[in-house]
Structure 1
Amino acid sequence: MTKYKLIATAAMGLEAIVADEVRKLGYECTVDNGKVIFEGDELAVARTNLWLRTADRIKIQLGEFKATTFDELFEKTKVLPWEQFITKDSEFPVSGKSIKSTLYSVPDCQAIVKKAIVERLKSQYRAVEWFQETGAKVPIEVAIRKDFVTLTIDTSGAGLHKRGYRVQQGAAPLKETLAAALIQLTNWTPDRPFVDLFCGSGTIPIEAALIGQNIAPGFNRDFLAEEWEIMPAGIWEKAREEAEDLANYDQSLQITGSDIQHSAVEMATQNAQEAGLAGVIQFKQMQATDFKTRDMYGVIVSNPPYGERISDRPGVEKLYQQLGQTLADLDTWSIYFITSHEEFEKHFGKKATKKRKLFNGFIRTDYYQYWGKRHPRED
């Protein structure tokens, strides 16, 4: 087994949550903007792809250096051991980005990195003059920031938010990674009621059920690195067996998702079935403001309408006001709403216990957290 420098990429604001997940898997890590850096072997590549709920991708860092000329970029790329990952028939596309750097032309940087890798591979595979690129995909990224070049290889393929259960989605779906983060920022435990009053296609309740039963979020999908020759035989099976052993399918859960739209409830039900959670989550068509409960110490996590369009704002503000009235007496419940509306607290009628800035895609939002009374056993 070989030790690699690994990077779990993360959406802005989620780095600390990703770092917690990495540490729980047993790997020491450091946090940077948009990424969590740690060391691990091939088993770590498989385990982190399977288990990280809030990361975007797992990448292997092959090199890091300063470059202000194309010659420097070429030579320093060429000395790296690309043959460890790229076989004679691997497909190795190069993507790139450049921020505040001398080498600002991304297409040129991509072309130079590709040329340098080809030259390196020719010197290693002497009989090969032309690489057909018909085999397993090994995507490479050249990222330049303030003249520092980072060269990485993507092990995940499709982003880790693609769990494989979303058959259908609504108009503005919440990414699964963000939904998992919203839940992990709460005080919810699997023995407490969990409710989403604006469930849409079911992402938040489904992610809650996966967390509640300790099911690895990547259990139902494939990853690019599964096709790579460098991955020792049986590594992915070993990681999946571990995930199967740790899953607690017998954990009973009280999770409810509701939505005013009948079509959303149908979508959510179908997605939950695809996730293997049929019967675990209850979905129902209901207005959020009709919510009533006799349960204690529950948790509500919701992504309500934001009123991004000016014409929608009065209706959304009225909804927030009605929600505040509907939920006012639930003093043992903890309530969490994510929205971009900057006057949410004013309309909801109550100041949040805590607020956290998060990005829903490119929309800057706040996560309003209203903590209920502590459960007696928490004292």
Structure 2
Amino acid sequence: MLFIFALLNGLLLLATFITLWRYEAWWVRGWDFPRLQVAVVAAAVLLLQLMLLDFSESASLVLVGLTVLCLVYQLWWIAAYTPFFPIEVKLAPGDDANNTISIMTANVLTTNKNAAGLLREVHQWRPDILVTLETNAWWQQQLDVLGADYPYTIKCPLENLYGMHVYSRLPLEDPAIQFLIEPNIPSMHALAILPSGQQVRVHFLHPAPPSPSENEESTERDAELLVVAKSVVDAELPVIVAGDLNDVAWSATTRLFRKISGLLDPRVGRGMFNSFHADYWCVRWPLDHLFHSDHFTLKDIRRLPSFGSDHFPMLITLVYSPAQSVKQDGSESSASEEAWADEKIAAQPAREVHQPKA
């Protein structure tokens, strides 16, 4: 029994602490994702240990202590995305339609042909901006029926799983499609104009993940996120960054992005809102994100029903409430974190991020 639990503890320790290694290979960075699942396994192992081990033996105490260490460490990373943590973004103080912006993000899965399912969600929720990922020419043809209601568009149909489209009710000024790091991975940048006339910088991203079939390391993804973070940190206008970032909310890289950019995460203190994988409830994590400057408060955040993709759509509604900004604090970066971000950016040649202007 001791041998079996020692073996389980060894696996838990490896899965838990391998992420302390800053090596960027996919087989290391991949362990950033399943922290909740590893925590559940650690809790189950702990329960079995308490039931089956003989605590007159010191080895049993050591095993339990190591399991508790793994469990606590995993929970420390994901705690911010539970209702037990203080919320980071305040609820909107009222209903100000002229200063409200709703954004739906949907990774459609290129091979998925249920465009009608996505259009049904768009017609039901009527977001101000629809951002689609993995959209190719076929998907563009299906989504172009939205043209009457969404006259402002940015389109980049691709067949490589990284096509991107933006359909907007709100005017989009000075739009740009950029390939910031990789020549086949687009990002989109524009100035959205609220009904009140307030300008909002919007940046939509979909960097490639670290994986054996994509990039063997996370350097490209990390560099794209951080170069955008650097570009918005001193922005005078309100900022929104959204998309499928192919990284979990609690990873070291996403935390670094939030600290460098100064942007807030409306999920903190509210829940994980796991958006991937739509088909397997036991292996889900939050890959689809929206971060924003402290000019906004939250009206609503929800995960929408599946429409055949491996991602659930996400819908977030914000209210421009600059008076509330003093009550909302994000994370601040340290000198060492700034240096780490610079190191990651330097590892990949990057274009200067388009800063849209009226």
> Please, what TM-score do these two structures have when normalized by structure 2?
0.27
Structure with larger Rg? 1
Larger RCO: Structure 1 or Structure 2 (Cα < 8 Å, ≥ 6 residues apart)?
Answer: 2
> Please, what TM-score do these two structures have when normalized by structure 1?
0.26
Q: Larger helix proportion, structure 1 or 2?
A: 2
